[in-house]
Amino acid sequence: MNNSITTVVFDIGNVLLEWNPEHLYKKLIPDAPERKRFLDTVCTPDWNLQQDLGRTWEDAVQTLSAEHPDKADLIAAYSDRWHEMVPGEVPGVRSLLLNLKSRGTPLYAITNFSSEKFAEAQDRFPFLKSSFADIVVSAEERLLKPDPRIYHVLFERNALAPETCFFIDDSAANVDAARSVGMAAHHFRTADALAEELAQLGLLPDGETR
């Protein structure tokens, strides 16, 4: 048990909310090799990350559509039908979040997310508005995990000591970065594995994790 850990910091995408472009593009591009080419060469992860850094979706779609006019409708769908990439919550994690909150644990979040889509996500999943003392959104800071500076935004804005924080993220690189700035961290895979580590840290008692 690590009694110095008092605060839990969540990632959002693929920790609390499931997100995968495949959910949408399996409908739009049924052929798997063609779909992979589109997501690897047109609506790429790097293109999407620019929205997480603050570029507007309008600008992103217009710019890419000018480069690939034959794919304009498919590109527009990435924004217009974004919610179809987010089928719902990751099973079991919100119950852990609410259990921690009910015990008075300070809760925060650091997320790579566009400002526009995060506002939509908060409207669709109201617990995102009510659960956290503060949320550091990459697009608002113009910083992306795993840049260590985004973790320091959380510390400095909320007067948090890194060694008191337990960070949860599905990305190994983001977890490594959190550890490099002094946080304890968990590479998220399942709610059950997370619950076990929360219990080991004394943040949730055994038998009351879910």
SS3 state at 108 = strand
104 and 187 in a common domain: yes
Is residue 103, in this structure, part of any structural domain at all? yes
Query: Where a domain ends, among 66, 85, 104?
Result: 85
Residue 207 confidence (pLDDT) above 70: no
How is residue 32 written in tokens?
A: 């798997």
Is residue 1, in this structure, part of any structural domain at all? no
pLDDT tens-place string over residues 141-175:
999 999 999 999 999 999 999 999 999 999 999 99
Residue 31 confidence (pLDDT) above 80: yes
179 and 102 in a common domain: yes
Is residue 210, in this structure, part of any structural domain at all? no
- φ, ψ (nearest 5 deg) of residue 110: -130, 125
Is residue 206, in this structure, part of any structural domain at all? no
- In CATH, what number is assigned to the domain containing residue 131? 3.40.50.1000
Is residue 69, in this structure, part of any structural domain at all? yes
Query: Where a domain ends, among 35, 70, 85?
Result: 85
The confidence score (pLDDT) of residue 2 equals 57
122 and 184 in a common domain: yes
119 and 37 in a common domain: no
Domains contained in the chain, number:
2
Q: How confident is the model at residue 210 (pLDDT cuts 50, 70, 90)?
A: very low
156 and 120 in a common domain: yes
Query: Where a domain ends, among 41, 66, 85?
Result: 85
Mean pLDDT in residue range 64-68: 98
pLDDT tens-place string over residues 103-140:
999 999 999 999 999 999 999 999 999 999 999 999 99
Is residue 36, in this structure, part of any structural domain at all? yes
SS3 state at 177 = helix
Return the exposure string of 164-198: e unless at least 16 CB atoms fall within 10 Å of the residue's CB, then b: bbbbbbbbeebbebbeebebbbbebeebeebbebb
Give the structural domain span for 43: 22-85
Query: What CA–CA distances, in Å, run from 184 to 2, 174, 177?
Result: 10, 12, 10
Q: What is the mean pLDDT of the chain?
A: 96
The confidence score (pLDDT) of residue 206 equals 72
Confirm if 157 and 182 have CB atoms less than 8 A apart.
no
Task: Indicate the pairing of strand 184-187 with strand 134-137.
Answer: unpaired
67 and 171 in a common domain: no
- What one-letter code names the amino acid at 32? A
94 and 176 in a common domain: yes
Is residue 208, in this structure, part of any structural domain at all? no
145 and 65 in a common domain: no
The confidence score (pLDDT) of residue 205 equals 82
How is residue 52 written in tokens?
A: 């997480």
Q: How confident is the model at residue 69 (pLDDT cuts 50, 70, 90)?
A: very high
Is residue 155, in this structure, part of any structural domain at all? yes
